[in-house]
Amino acid sequence: MSEKTKIPDHLIRELEDARRRIAELEAGVTERKRAGEAVQESQARLEGMLDIADDAIISMDADQRITLFNKGAERIFGYTVEETLGQPLDILLPERFVKSHREHVQDFAALPVPSPAMSERGILFGRRKDGEEFPVEISILKLEIGGETVFTAILRDIKRAEEQLIRSEKLAAVGRMTAGVAHEILNPLNIITLGLHMMADDPDTPPEFVDQVRVLEGQAIRIAKISQGLLSFARQRPVERRRFDFNETVRRTLDLVSHELRLRAVEVELRLAEGLPPILADEDQIQQVILNLLTNAHDAMSEGGRLVLRTEAIRDDGRQLVELRVEDTGEGTDPDDLDKLFDPFFTTKGEGTGLGLSICQGIIEAHGGAIRAENLPEGGTSFIIRLGIGEE
Ligand code: ADP
């Protein structure tokens, strides 16, 4: 019988002690790691929120130097974040307000902070990079972090917010009333149009009336066009998605108008990206948008010109998108009008309804995409659509 080595009791106790301490340490490390991950996660969430906010969110230190400038602030003030970090807040204010505002912030800074923060609200003037002054609604939050005073201000561009509100109210009001009215108008109008058409063609109509009857017929057709436009504007049916080849739809839509384009001596250049991923969208609606853009480009080039259609796959913030550019060499757009092109009823055409682009915008936004217009440096206008390719 072999003699078992007896481990002394005190060694066993020490071993158990060491084991317990290691377990405690491990638990501590896991805990800290978990806490670190939670901090990272909430930071990522916060950064995401800062990015998508419409308002300007700006932080500054006790010396009133800018320490945070979100995307909303870039949009509203026209500066990039790189241009502002470390700069005094004064660059965002009209000069005549700089002194009083500095003093006001200093007074506010001197007030004791009831825990954990204090805030105030008001209206003041901001100054954009191009010098334009504009009223802003401001909420300032004062925080003491590690003994340091930090201010965070949320600024809303009042004029822009009002414009957005008016625009969406206008759209909603138009939507509500149109469907019914347009529908009621179209039936009797068809009868009138047909009657006028027959009268103009009737040999019994006195020749001196024929021209007038044709003018009336033209006007009746115009009313029908407006009513139809209103109907499709109000109808905005739900998006029915299926996967399709975007380039193919662009080509097919172009075929529908290629005859008119040729008659106008408009040269067409197709620059469709190869290997574009198929998109998950409502093909009929997207085709309607493209057709509208092509028709507008045709209308803008009354003397002929060149139409370029470009598609491209792009990545934006990790999202995979397809982009279509419809570029013409037409009359271009008054820079003041670029923002208004998408408003319902905005038209510069004698025969226009001003509804085409607002319908396009409605469709693209219902798809979660974006549409915008730019003037091209060499003349003409470019319409740019971006659409997500949809869930995988
Ligand atoms: P409509 O064609 O009935 O006027 P839209 O909403 O389609 O309605 O267009 C609104 C306005 O936008 C047009 O009247 C025109 O002033 C402008 N526009 C649209 N497309 C172009 C373009 N390619 N070039 C210049 N202006 C354009």
Pocket test for ligand 1, best of 338, 357, 363, 384 (most atoms within 8 A of CB): 357
CB count in 10 Å sphere of residue 78: 14
Mode of pairing for the β-strands spanning 305-316 and 266-271: parallel
| Ligand 1 in reach of 344 Cβ (< 6 A) | no
Residues 6+ apart with CB under 8 A from 93: 101, 124, 125, 126, 127
Is residue 153 within 8 Å of 170, Cβ to Cβ? Answer: no
Tell me which residue has its CA closest to atom 20 in ligand 1: 296
Closest by CA position to 327, among listed 349, 303, 345, 300: 300
pLDDT score of 1: 44
What is residue 84's predicted lDDT score, i.e. its pLDDT?
A: 95
Q: What is the pLDDT of residues 112-167, one digit of tens each?
A: 765 556 677 778 889 999 999 999 988 888 887 777 888 888 999 988 888 877 77
| Span between the terminal Cα atoms of the chain, in Å | 71
Q: Which of 32-46, 55-69, 109-123, 351-365 has the lowest mean pLDDT?
A: 109-123
- 364 ligand 1 Cβ < 6 A: no
Long-range contacts made by residues 112-115, C-beta under 8 angstroms, separation at least 24? 113/142, 113/143, 113/144, 113/149
**Can you tell me whether residue 142 is helix, strand or coil?**
strand
Pairing mode, strands 319-327 and 66-69: unpaired
Give the mutation target among 291, 329, 341, 346 for probing the ligand 1 site: most ligand atoms within 8 A of CB: 341
Crossing angle of helices 207-235 and 158-201, in 10° steps, is 140
Write down the pTM of the prediction: 0.55
Residue 230 CB–ligand 1 contact under 6 Å:
no
Position in ligand 1 atom list of the atom nearest CA 359: 6
Query: Alpha-carbon distance 55 to 42, whole Å?
Result: 20
Residue 359: phi, psi to the nearest 5? -65, -45
